[in-house]
Structure 1
């Protein structure tokens, strides 16, 4: 089984003690720090900003991704690349020229990411797949934490697993990702999991214990 990539969603972290949060998540074995940028237009809420991104980037040597839930992401990918993002996700619906934007990301030496909403058909992004390093399936409607996992998205994930045989992208999932969902989805071909309040934050156990458990390959699949 391929090693899971566990990605704490820093939107859920305790910003009153951010240094400690990052250090504990880092030591616990997090693979990628996941940062959501929202503009209040593409999604109906505001999220983290460039200064938040820089603060986290400066405090870890781990990979840091940025999920641009914003209109016209092509105007900003170079800014985030220059600020240290390792992976940059865009939503094609928000970009008039997504292929050009992905090319900008690659020319900066960064990994390209495409995020697709629950209502986005695979057919609308299929032409972009040769340009994609990480494809992140939103399993909730983007913009808010604490939502319920949308089971109908599983069919889209299964279809993408088949397409992965042709295109070299990694499949990631984001939204209400519980330990049970990680166990189930990892067995069908999902590589990466964005961790929020369903699996990581706000629990009694410390981060190290939770992440160690989530990385176990013999986690029982909950049906």
Structure 2
């Protein structure tokens, strides 16, 4: 199975972002992952409009935005106009998530559903036919550097087992190390949001690391 390697730019070196993106492009990453936090839905603030705009100018690769914000329906047009390719929302943050997912699709963008560690599959089951990507959070959202939550694995396995019924791609985000990529890929996960656990601030260059994460030598 082809592994989608998706750098989480929240932990990139933003003082040298042009160099970072150039080297990641050359390493043949698959999707740039940008966390948008409002300090309300999650207790932190992160990337914003200017950051998404900057990355879009530096790459032709796929860009996703992970909206960790209250009322994500209010932000769809804003980020769609910036040229992103995937938009993830949290159903808990939206009064009518089905309508918001439909709005994303109508803008020609892939709708994605982000599922928190404490959110059950049953509570989002009806939304699965509406999305192209399902992102399982394996840490509580809002902060980098947290440990992987083992209790999310049964949920990942179930979502992997049923994905052929819905045709979404299954992604994971949070403390994703090289060993986790091997483990979760074997049960059907296709995409991996990688940060400091697997990619950034390592001794090897990005090209070497990405090749290894994808299963090369």
What TM-score do the two structures reach when normalised by structure 2? 0.99
- 1:179 matched to 2:181? The reply is no
Alignment partners' CA distance in 2, 1:206 and 1:63: 21
1:165 Cα deviation from its structure 2 partner: 2.5
Distance 1:58 1:80 in 2: 14
Residues paired across the two proteins, number: 217
CA distance in 2, matches of 1:52, 1:135: 24
Alignment of 1:198-213 (within 5 A): 198-213=197-212
Q: Find out whether 1:9 has 2:8 as its counterpart.
A: yes
Show the 5 A alignment for 1:1-223. Answer: 2-216=1-215
Q: 5+ unaligned residues in a row in structure 2: which ranges?
A: none
**Aligned equivalents of 1:16, 1:83: Cα separation in 2:** 21
Across the aligned residues of Structure 1 and Structure 2, the Cα RMSD in angstroms comes to 0.9
- Segments of 5+ residues of structure 1 without an aligned counterpart are none
CA deviation vs aligned residue, 1:105-156 (integer Å, no higher than 9, x gap): 0000110100000000111100000001000000000000011000110000
CA deviations on 1:156-176 (whole Å, 9 max, x unpaired) are 001101221211101000000
* Secondary structure at 1:143 match in 2: coil
CA distance in 1: counterparts of 2:135 and 2:56, whole angstroms? 21
What is the rounded CA distance, in whole Å, between the counterparts of 1:166 and 1:127 in structure 2? 12
TM-score, normalised to structure 1's length?
Answer: 0.96
User: Per the alignment, in what secondary structure is the counterpart of residue 165 of structure 2?
Assistant: coil
Give secondary structure in 2 for the equivalent of 1:124.
coil
Distance 1:30 1:147 in 2: 23
Report SS of the residue matched to 1:122: coil
Query: Alpha-carbon deviations, 1:78-125, whole Å to 9, x = none?
Result: 110111010000000000010000000000011010000000011110
- The SS at the match of 1:16 is helix
